[in-house]
């Protein structure tokens, strides 16, 4: 095993690292779906040790194994089946097209999945798109006149592409060597100052402040706050144009370009209360785990069957903590590519909302409150009488 060096921050290089949280035997894959329960139960596990950099505020898994995770075609993390997420993505695409006059331009997306967002940018602005993703299923009819997807990681081998915009959404948190990644990206852009970069990552401050504990997953070796994200880009000679909270504060959004003056450096300060949130996190985390253990034990005693709505990272983490409770019948997800498959390590089956009506479930545990309204609407539309409870 080749683990990260816990003595050095992977963003700023500081040695001021304090480890504050440990989670053993967590699923390595939170977005891989398995064909059988046995495969799922035998899925690989890994340890998480969260380290906090007092210098830049970055949090990362100091026990992360640098052996590459296999992001193959069983990897499925698309959120575009949700009306709530579709609305957000459409609004972002419209804004980018308007702000940067993205019409008849070339766009590269790193980690494009099935190409949903890239296709949106290209069809709405009559642009050309090249996507990179090792998990792309080549039997999927994603390639068309607007976009083509390359089943590979983006690397210097593809520097011959000259995009007007580079998108990289929900990828950077998976990269164990972000400095090397951004250095290669800077090299590929070269002197083309007009090229814009759009990055989006989970918001680490939201997670540690608002106790979004189910977002701690092995695949995410990094948890960025605004300060650490800005430092990472500034130190790799990018100029930062915008960095803000989006999607109900759950994501961080950053726009950047190659710096005109490499002597300029971001010199802001990290959130004044970040250390307070970090060093009280373990205690608050344990209280939430205990509270949910008591709730589920009560549901077991009452014989009230339940289902977890959301077979993404949040649902998978929740099920791997509490899947032993008899009251939890299944996981529900609107993504048809997940339905009929099984959850990593816990082995729960993923079913469709329509199948939920056949289970006799009395309570639905909603993993992301942002989707609560649409989930309740779906349940009501199915004529199904089940209580929706947010974690």
The domains of the chain are located at 83-266, 281-390
pLDDT beyond 90 at 84: no
- In this predicted structure, what is the pLDDT of residue 358? 84
Tell me phi and psi for residue 366, to 5 degrees. -90, 120
Has residue 68 got a pLDDT over 70? no
Confidence of residue 226 (pLDDT cuts 50, 70, 90): very high
Percent of the chain, pLDDT > 70? 92
Q: What is the pLDDT of residue 4?
A: 46
The domain at 281-390 falls in which architecture? 3-Layer(aba) Sandwich (3.40)
Find the DSSP H helices in the chain.
37-41, 83-99, 116-125, 178-189, 204-209, 226-234, 274-279, 281-302, 313-322, 353-356, 372-381
Residue 391 has a pLDDT of 87
- CATH superfamily, with its number, for domain 83-266: Vaccinia Virus protein VP39 (3.40.50.150)
How much is the average pLDDT of 259-271?
A: 65
Split at pLDDT 50, 70, 90, the class of 140 is low
d(CA 13, CA 7): 9
What's the chain's average pLDDT?
90
Q: Which helix (H) or strand (E) holds 356?
A: helix 353-356
Quick check: 77 pLDDT over 70?
A: no
In this structure, the chain runs to a length of 391
Q: What's the CA gap between 149 and 133, in Å, rounded?
A: 7
At residue 264 the predicted structure's pLDDT band, cuts being 50, 70 and 90, is: low
Residue 355 has pLDDT above 60, yes or no: yes
Q: To which residue do tokens 């194994």 refer?
A: 65
CA distances from 49 to 24, 117, 281 (A): 8, 33, 13
3-state secondary structure of 295: helix
Q: Say if 83-266 and 281-390 have the same CATH topology.
A: yes
Give the residue-averaged pLDDT of 279-295. 96
Q: Which tokens hold the place of 200?
A: 């989006």
Classified as helix, coil or strand, 258 is strand
SS3 of the chain: helix, strand, coil, percent, to 5: 30, 25, 45
**Model pLDDT, residue 136:** 87
**Digit-coded pLDDT (tens) for 89-132:** 999 999 999 999 999 999 999 999 989 999 999 999 999 999 99
pLDDT tens track for 160-207: 999 999 999 999 999 999 999 999 999 999 888 889 999 999 999 999
Average pLDDT over residues 299-311: 91
| Phi, psi at 246, each rounded to 5° | -140, 175
């Amino acid at each position: 095993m080749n683990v990260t060096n816990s003595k050095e921050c992977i963003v700023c290089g500081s040695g001021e690292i304090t480890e504050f949280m440990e989670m053993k035997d967590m699923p390595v894959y939170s977005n891989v779906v398995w064909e059988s329960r046995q495969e799922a139960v035998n899925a690989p596990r890994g340890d998480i040790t969260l380290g906090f950099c007092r210098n830049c505020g970055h949090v990362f898994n100091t026990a992360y194994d640098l052996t590459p995770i296999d992001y193959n075609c069983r990897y499925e993390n698309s959120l575009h089946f949700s009306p709530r997420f579709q609305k957000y993505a459409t609004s972002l695409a419209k804004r980018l097209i308007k702000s940067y006059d993205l019409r008849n331009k070339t766009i590269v997306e790193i980690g494009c999945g099935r190409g949903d967002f890239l296709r949106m940018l290209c069809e709405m602005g009559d642009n050309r798109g090249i996507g990179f993703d090792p998990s792309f299923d080549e039997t999927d009819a994603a390639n068309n006149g607007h976009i083509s997807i390359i089943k590979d990681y983006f690397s210097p081998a593809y520097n011959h592409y000259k995009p007007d915009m580079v998108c990289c959404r929900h990828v950077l948190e998976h990269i164990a060597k972000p400095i090397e990644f951004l250095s290669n990206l800077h090299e590929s852009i070269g002197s083309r100052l007009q090229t814009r970069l759009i990055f989006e990552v989970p918001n680490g401050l939201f997670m540690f402040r608002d106790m979004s504990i189910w977002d701690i997953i092995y695949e995410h070796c990094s948890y960025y706050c605004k300060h650490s994200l800005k430092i990472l880009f500034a130190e790799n000679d990018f100029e930062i144009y915008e960095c803000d909270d989006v999607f109900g504060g759950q994501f961080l959004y950053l726009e950047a370009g190659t710096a005109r003056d490499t002597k300029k450096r971001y010199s802001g300060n990290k959130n004044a209360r970040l250390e307070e949130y970090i060093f009280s996190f373990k205690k608050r985390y344990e209280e939430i785990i205990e509270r949910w253990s008591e709730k589920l034990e009560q549901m077991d005693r009452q014989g009230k069957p339940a289902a977890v709505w959301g077979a993404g990272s949040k649902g998978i983490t929740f099920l791997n903590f509490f899947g032993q409770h008899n009251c939890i019948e299944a996981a529900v997800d609107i993504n048809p590519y997940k339905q009929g498959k099984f959850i990593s390590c816990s082995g729960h089956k993923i079913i469709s909302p329509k199948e939920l009506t056949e289970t006799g479930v009395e309570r639905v545990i909603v993993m992301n409150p942002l989707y609560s309204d649409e989930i309740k609407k779906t349940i009501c539309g199915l004529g199904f009488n089940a209580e929706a409870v947010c974690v």
